[in-house]
Amino acid sequence: DAGVTQSPTHLIKTRGQQVTLRCSPKSGHDTVSWYQQALGQGPQFIFQYYEEEERQRGNFPDRFSGHQFPNYSSELNVNALLLGDSALYLCASSFLPTGTGGREQYFGPGTRLTVT
Amino acid sequence: GENVEQHPSTLSVQEGDSAVIKCTYSDSASNYFPWYKQELGKRPQLIIDIRSNVGEKKDQRIAVTLNKTAKHFSLHITETQPEDSAVYFCAAPTGFQKLVFGTGTRLLVSP
């Protein structure tokens, strides 16, 4: 049973470029959340996808966008990269049964993005 | 607004001692409180969680307590071992499963 996977592991981009990060959720999970973790800080919520729709969004600009595919995998796109976008990008998957309430979220290994 | 405060930021203990990390949350609707352990260069790993209908949960050397009235929850590690050294994050959900994380506690267990 595969856990959450992410690709690529590391990425180096220059300012102004665009990047796409990918995430495959844990088997049986249908919800993917993306987080940005700057060095020495806790993960910051970017957005969450469920049923191929963005369900909730954190305080990130529109340069950050995403997509979820029918197989529940997800992509995070960042346009017009800034130096401050350098961080570890984590995706977390969970299963959303009927009703609301917190559910266990399991993190992937992350993609380390460096913007020069 | 949504906020999770975590203390202390660093904690140094001797092997075998106990360690306690405390968090306070602001969203009274939060009903699930996970703790994550993150070793250097690795992903956050879910180590224990508690739901709002329970006051305490224990898993071997790790326990979590919750006081919903005070909006406090704490992680307790007993008989600490060097491999417990890591950064620990508490979190609380707000809205639709959005996790808000604390600022982290760097735990150092010295042999």
Q: What is the DSSP letter of B84?
A: G
Question: Which pair of structure tokens corresponds to residue A55?
Answer: 């369900």
Report the pLDDT value the prediction gives residue B1, as an integer from 0 to 100.
59
A6-64 per-position pLDDT tens digit: 999 999 999 999 999 999 999 999 999 999 999 999 999 999 999 999 998 999 999 99
Which residue among B31, B51, B102 sits closest to A42, beta carbon to beta carbon? B102
Ordered DSSP codes for A48-112? EEETTEEEEE-S--TTEEEEE-TTS-EEEEE-S--GGG-EEEEEEEE---SS-S----EE---EE
- What's the mean pLDDT in B71-75? 96
Give strand pairing partners of A36. A44, A89
Report the pLDDT value the prediction gives residue B102, as an integer from 0 to 100.
96
What is the identity of the amino acid at A36?
Q
B40: buried, middle or exposed (CB in 10 Å: 19+, 13-18, 0-12)?
exposed
Report the pLDDT value the prediction gives residue A101, as an integer from 0 to 100.
59
B45 neighbourhood in chain A, CB within 8 Å: 107
**In this predicted structure, which of A38-52, A69-83, A88-102, B25-39 has the lowest mean pLDDT?**
A88-102
Residue A3 has pLDDT above 80, yes or no: yes
Residue A62's contacts (CB-CB under 8 Å, 6 or more residues apart) are none
B31 neighbourhood in chain A, CB within 8 Å: 101-102
Residue A1 has pLDDT above 70, yes or no: no
A33:B95 CB<8 A: no
A56 neighbourhood in chain B, CB within 8 Å: 95-98
A104 or A88: which leads in pLDDT: A88
Residue A96 has pLDDT above 90, yes or no: no
Please name which of B88, B67, B91 lies closest in space to residue A103, comparing C-alpha atoms: B91
Report the pLDDT value the prediction gives residue B94, as an integer from 0 to 100.
82
Residue A103 has pLDDT above 90, yes or no: no
- Interatomic CA distance for residues B21 and B7, integer angstroms: 6
Please name which of B66, B100, B73 lies closest in space to residue A105, comparing C-alpha atoms: B100
Q: What is the DSSP letter of B38?
A: E
Residue A99 has pLDDT above 60, yes or no: no
Residue B98 has pLDDT above 90, yes or no: no
A42:B103 CB<8 A: yes
Report the pLDDT value the prediction gives residue B2, as an integer from 0 to 100.
80
Helix, strand, or coil (residue B83): helix
* A106 near B CB under 8 A: yes
* A68 near B CB under 8 A: no
- What's the mean pLDDT in B3-25? 97
Average pLDDT, chain B: 93
- What's the mean pLDDT in A90-103? 75
* A59 near B CB under 8 A: no
Report the pLDDT value the prediction gives residue A71, as an integer from 0 to 100.
95
- Interatomic CA distance for residues B56 and B64, integer angstroms: 6
Residue B106 has pLDDT above 90, yes or no: yes
- Percent of chain B clearing pLDDT 70 (strictly above): 98
Residue B26 has pLDDT above 70, yes or no: yes
B35 or B29: which leads in pLDDT: B35
A60: buried, middle or exposed (CB in 10 Å: 19+, 13-18, 0-12)?
middle
> CB neighbours (10 Å) of residue B79?
11
Residue B61's contacts (CB-CB under 8 Å, 6 or more residues apart) are B77, B78, B79, B80
- Interatomic CA distance for residues B109 and B15, integer angstroms: 6
Give the best residue of A23, A45, A48 to mutate against chain B (max B CB count within 10 A).
Answer: A45
